[in-house]
Amino acid sequence: MSLSRRDFFKYAGSAGAGVAVGAAPFDLKPVAAAATTLKIKEAKVHSGVCPYCAVGCIQLIYSKGDKIIDIEGHPDTPHTLGRLCPKGAATIQLSNNPLRPTKAMYRAPGSDKWEEKPLEWMYDEIAKRYYDTREQHFIEKEKDKDGKEVTVNRLEAIASLGSACIDNEECYLLTKLNRTLGIVYHEHQARI
């Protein structure tokens, strides 16, 4: 039985989920211990990094099959000592969330709805848009301030924004892709 935090509070009979642990009229400790033991028993544990602010709290992510069942702070982390803030403690709902889209979607110009599309179709169409826009708008040479023609190999018609929430390796791949294509509107939310 997998208990989410909210289920647990309902189960334990506390009305003030999130803030009322200390004030709850019941002794929750044995219930909490039992629930925790049940939850992570036979689960696999993985090392995670909290995806919210930049303190970089290391998390222990427990999974069973392809489901994350619990996320908690890693107590050995030198700069966090295992603590998580409210956002870090909610990380599990980034994965286990009914509002989360799991299909690729397309919205035609002027349409009033999203349509689900196969990933392969999406990748093909997106690649075509990149190709066509690059072919149409690429600036290979232009005059410099002295009027001399120079090679600039620049693509100004496609802009790329993001992200401070992707991994270093992903940032590098995006930089490599954009810069080798000639993209110069190349930014992320460092200033936001």
Partner 1 sequence: MTTNLIDIQHSDVVMCTNNMAENHPVGFQWVMKAKERGAKIIHVDPRFTRTSSVADMHVPLRSGTNIAFFGGLMNYAIRNNLYFKDYVVYYTNASFLIDPAFKTPADLGGLFEGLEQTGKGGTDPHVAQTYNKSSWKYQLDGEGNPKRDLTLKDPHSVFQLLKRHYSRYTPEMVERICGIPKAKFMEVAQLYCSTSGREKTGTITYALNLTQHTNGVQNIRSLCMLQLLLGNIGRPGGGVVALRGHANVQGATDLELLYHELPGYMAMPLRDAHPDLKTYLEKETPKGGFWINKPKFFVSLLKAFYGDAATKENEFGYQWLPKRASADAYSHQHMFVDMYKGKIKGFLADGQNPAVGGPNAKLARAAMQKLDWMVVKDIFVSETADVWRTPGTNPKDVKTEMFFLPAAPAAEKDGSLTNTMRLIQWHEKAVNPPGDVTSDAEFFVTLAKRLQKMYAGSKKDRDKGFLAANFQYGDNPKEPNMELVLKEINGYATEEMKDKDGKLVYKKDQALNTFAHMTDDGKTAGGCWIYTGVTVEGPDGKLINKANSRKPADEKDYLGHGWGFSWPANRRIIYNRASADLKGKPWSEKKKLIWWDPEAPGQTPDKKGKWVGLDVPDFNAFLAPDAKNGDKPFIMRADLVGAFFGPLNDGPFPEHYEPIESPTRNLLSKQQNNPVAKIWSVPDHKNDLAPLGSKDYPYVITTYRLTEHHLSGVMSRYLPMLAEMFESHFAEISLELAKELGVANGDKVTVSSPRGKIVAKAMVTHRLKPFQIDGKTVHQIGVPWHWGWKGVDALPGSKGDITNDLSATVADPTVYIQETKAFMCNVKKGEV
Residues 6+ apart with CB under 8 A from 179: 186
Exposure string (b/e) for 56-68, b if CB count within 10 Å is 16 or more?
Answer: ebbbbbbbeeeeb
Kindly state the smallest distance separating residue 39's Cβ from partner 1, in Å. 14
Kindly state the smallest distance separating residue 32's Cβ from partner 1, in Å. 17
Q: With binding defined as CB under 8 A, does residue 90 bind partner 1?
A: yes
Q: With binding defined as CB under 8 A, does residue 7 bind partner 1?
A: no
Q: With binding defined as CB under 8 A, does residue 32 bind partner 1?
A: no
Contact 17, 7 (CB under 8 A): no
**Number of C-beta neighbours around residue 163 at 10 A:** 13
Contact 85, 54 (CB under 8 A): no
Q: With binding defined as CB under 8 A, does residue 2 bind partner 1?
A: no
Residues in region 96-155 near partner 1 by CB under 8 A: 97, 99-112, 114, 118-119, 122-131, 133, 136-138, 140, 142, 144-145, 150-155
Choose between 37 and 168: whose C-beta lies nearer to partner 1: 168
Residues 6+ apart with CB under 8 A from 157: 133, 134, 136, 137
Kindly state the smallest distance separating residue 65's Cβ from partner 1, in Å. 8
Q: With binding defined as CB under 8 A, does residue 162 bind partner 1?
A: yes
